[in-house]
Structure 1
Amino acid sequence: MAGAPPPLLLALLGLAALAAAGATNAAGRKTVGVYELRKGDFSVRVTNWGATLTSVVLPDSKGNLADVVLGYDTIAEYVNGSAYFGALVGRVANRVANARFVLDGKVYHLYRNDGKNALHGGKRGFSKVIWTVKEYVGSGDSPYITLYYHSFDGEEGFPGDLDVYVTYRLSGPYELSLRMNATALSRATPVNLVNHAYWNLGGHGSGDVLRHTVQLLASRYTPVDAGLIPTGAVAPVAGTPYDLRAPTRLGARLRLVSGGKAGVYGYDTNFAVDGEARALRKVAAVRDGGASGRALELWADQPGVQFYTGNFLAGVKGKGGAVYGQHAALCLETQGFPDAVNHPNFPSQIVRPGQVYRHNMVFKFSF
């Protein structure tokens, strides 16, 4: 952290929890903290527990500041939570059918943590480990933090050693960029990293997002079965409730989409983003339909985006005493297609030794 001011240590993990998380070794104890990046009245906070985005604070149309991502007050709650609030998810985000895949003729079995499937990297995915802070500059023209994690061969069943980096940066006025890369060191492996921030542009405790309008620049999507596993088809959105190519108020649509379980509705869907994959392009636009006037554009270079509308949130105690209910936020997780390792027709997520996986996102806010 050369040249950086001391980190803003807003919360520390209890010693018992650190030990349980494997944070101790002969050389000492890793520190878990929360680090602030600030540029005027725009600020974000990141913790090296799970490389997690814990807050994004910006003005509304009247200059009032609010935090627009859901989260918790303490690191211990992130350790114990199951909603993946703000986390950097991997080694393979989303679902892998039957928690298995075949690569170069060998069968690999993963940890089953979603029924018979693997979800978001398994029981101890990248969102449930301590990352190393490599660089931190909290203020100035382009504040940033770079975090590093080494994933070992066989972790959660995945093959090969993997070096992973993520940089959060305030890259422009009211602009937050994420740069992720991962280098395969020893064996071929699937890699699909996502940021799992939950957005509510009215403020994290302002209620549901049914008045938000959403536009996704995606002409196709990947239908799923009852277990939310892709069928292998890549279908047109035209004439379906998945057609969000024009700005659409969520309240008018959510009940038209099954959430995957009885009585649950809303989007939990991968969309195939239009345009050339691996090129930075506009993916989505969101606007608060309430008084704040806040809006965001998401730009990214991945083939897909998982659009999730908080269908399974139910009475989750969040920051500042807020309670998050169903549809309290939405997620826009740019990604490779879910279960790509089991669908040869999907864009490949395999990274071979010496190759580098890259994933770039830019959130552009206005008000």
Structure 2
Amino acid sequence: MGVSSRSWGKTPFGKEVMLFTLENSAGCKARISTYGGTLTGLEIPVDGTVSGKMLDVVLGFDSLQEYAADGNYMGATVGRVAGRISNASFELNGQKFQLDSNEGPNHLHGGRNGFNRQVWEVAAVGDKQDTPSLTLSLLSLHLEGGYPGNLKVEATFTLSGTSLRIIYRATSDQPTPLNITAHPYFNLNGNGRKINNHQLKIFSTKSTTFDEALIPDGKIVEISGTEADFIDFTPLGTNEQDRFYVLENEREELIPAAIARCEESGLELEVCTNQLGVQLYTADGIANESPGKNGIQYGPRCGFCIEPMGYPDAVNKPEFPSVILRPGEKYNHSTEYRFRRIS
């Protein structure tokens, strides 16, 4: 129990990457790579006992090389700005900033060399048996990816009981957009089998509306009674979802955002966050026969993402809450993934 580490190879640019394992007294294990601040594994006791059957509830790969080639942000820390930015540009204080266009004309998840493509530094290790933790740090330089300001970021991963907490903190020397999220793909069946039998509850009846490129149009609508309504436990079924849900979180406190459950495994996942919303993505864009862990092949609906974050494209939508971090301010994003037996 505690924290262990090993070398996991080098990037194509020759930078060494470390793989850390956090293991606590509740029998949980989390594996985190310094490449992309990536959660590569999360093992939870299925029967609630330390010595019982374990289930790895996040999708991923066996090697660093596969993560380096991945285009689906498997388990990665995403930034500077998660989600899409229309026309890969924005104006701030009267100046226009041009970003990477990595999804057609638009900017997605921080661009071609976002946080998920960086090798993070090890800032601190908390080697406690009950609450092992790992803090990684990253310096994102002025105009990296087109973003203004030298940005200092820390990501802290902590295992406590059968929960994983991730806290992102950041400061900048210039005003800059910042909207970080964690991007694990969960599957409570294990082995990347289709998630159609999962049930989901999202604590929201409001969503942003968007165009064919999934760019928000600035409107927020009621979705009660539609196929996007998960206010009560509803099977994920086969409906594609890639949608931002608005949370009632005016004080930015840690509140329940969503609960997913799977009767087959008997596991339930509660996602709590201090962010203003969550993006639900049901992995319909994963290609058939994509390689995954342990020789398993992934495909559409092999997992689901619940991405806590601020409003997408807020830099171009003044009607949305701002995602601008200014000098002297401290960015603080906290999310907990809480696992338990279905009661």
Q: TM-score, normalised by structure 2?
A: 0.95
The CA deviation string for residues 85-126 of structure 1, in whole angstroms up to 9 with x for no partner, is 000000011100000101111111001000000001010000
Superposed displacement of residue 237, structure 1? 1.3
2:172 alignment counterpart = 184
C-alpha RMSD of the superposition = 1.5
Report the CA distance shift for 1:47/1:113 in structure 2 as closer, same or farther (over 3 A). same
Kindly indicate whether residue 139 of structure 2 is the aligned counterpart of residue 150 of structure 1. Answer: yes
**Contact persistence 1:37–1:139 (CA under 8 A):** no
Q: TM-score, normalised by structure 1?
A: 0.89
Superposed displacement of residue 184, structure 1? 1.0
What letter corresponds to residue 352 of structure 1 in structure 2?
R
What letter corresponds to residue 283 of structure 2 in structure 1?
G
Partners of 2:5 and 2:332 lie apart in 1 by 29
1:316 alignment counterpart = 290
What letter corresponds to residue 354 of structure 1 in structure 2?
G
Partners of 2:201 and 2:138 lie apart in 1 by 34
**Contact persistence 2:78–2:182 (CA under 8 A):** yes
What letter corresponds to residue 150 of structure 1 in structure 2?
L
- 1:1-367 counterparts in 2 under 5 A? 7-9=4-6, 11-13=8-10, 17-19=12-14, 23=15, 31-40=16-25, 41-61=27-47, 63-170=52-159, 172-185=160-173, 187-203=174-190, 205-251=191-237, 254-255=238-239, 266-290=240-264, 292-314=265-287, 315-367=289-341
**Contact persistence 1:111–1:122 (CA under 8 A):** yes
Report the CA distance shift for 1:220/1:139 in structure 2 as closer, same or farther (over 3 A). same
What letter corresponds to residue 51 of structure 1 in structure 2?
G
Partners of 1:85 and 1:236 lie apart in 2 by 31
Partners of 1:289 and 1:247 lie apart in 2 by 12
**Contact persistence 1:60–1:293 (CA under 8 A):** yes
What letter corresponds to residue 36 of structure 1 in structure 2?
T
**Contact persistence 2:2–2:129 (CA under 8 A):** no
**Contact persistence 1:180–1:360 (CA under 8 A):** yes
The CA deviation string for residues 182-210 of structure 1, in whole angstroms up to 9 with x for no partner, is 1012x10000000000000111x151110
**SS of the residue 2:218 aligns to:** coil
**Contact persistence 1:38–1:138 (CA under 8 A):** no
What letter corresponds to residue 312 of structure 1 in structure 2?
G
Partners of 1:118 and 1:91 lie apart in 2 by 11
Report the CA distance shift for 1:206/1:289 in structure 2 as closer, same or farther (over 3 A). farther
Please say which of residues 145-154 and 239-248 is displaced more in the overlay.
Answer: 239-248
* Structure 2 stretches lacking a partner, 5+ long: none
**Contact persistence 1:36–1:138 (CA under 8 A):** no
**Contact persistence 1:277–1:302 (CA under 8 A):** no
The CA deviation string for residues 50-104 of structure 1, in whole angstroms up to 9 with x for no partner, is 0000000012138311211000001111111111000000001110000010111
Report the CA distance shift for 1:72/1:10 in structure 2 as closer, same or farther (over 3 A). farther
Which of the two has greater strand per residue?
A: 2
Partners of 1:206 and 1:351 lie apart in 2 by 37
Superposed displacement of residue 127, structure 1? 0.3
* Structure 1 stretches lacking a partner, 5+ long: 24-30, 256-265
Q: Share of identical aligned residues, percent? A: 36
Partners of 1:6 and 1:56 lie apart in 2 by 14
Partners of 1:293 and 1:10 lie apart in 2 by 35
Superposed displacement of residue 138, structure 1? 4.4
Please say which of residues 4-13 and 138-147 is displaced more in the overlay.
Answer: 4-13
Report the CA distance shift for 1:10/1:324 in structure 2 as closer, same or farther (over 3 A). farther
Partners of 1:206 and 1:180 lie apart in 2 by 28
Partners of 1:49 and 1:9 lie apart in 2 by 13
**Contact persistence 2:59–2:192 (CA under 8 A):** no
**Contact persistence 1:147–1:165 (CA under 8 A):** yes
**SS of the residue 2:194 aligns to:** coil
**SS of the residue 1:32 aligns to:** strand
Partners of 1:340 and 1:240 lie apart in 2 by 25
1:258 alignment counterpart = none
What letter corresponds to residue 22 of structure 2 in structure 1?
L
Superposed displacement of residue 6, structure 1? 7.6
Partners of 1:362 and 1:86 lie apart in 2 by 15
Superposed displacement of residue 276, structure 1? 2.7
Partners of 1:152 and 1:10 lie apart in 2 by 26
1:263 alignment counterpart = none
**SS of the residue 1:358 aligns to:** strand
Superposed displacement of residue 151, structure 1? 0.4
What letter corresponds to residue 282 of structure 2 in structure 1?
T
The CA deviation string for residues 315-344 of structure 1, in whole angstroms up to 9 with x for no partner, is 210110010111010001000010000001
How many residues align? The count is 336
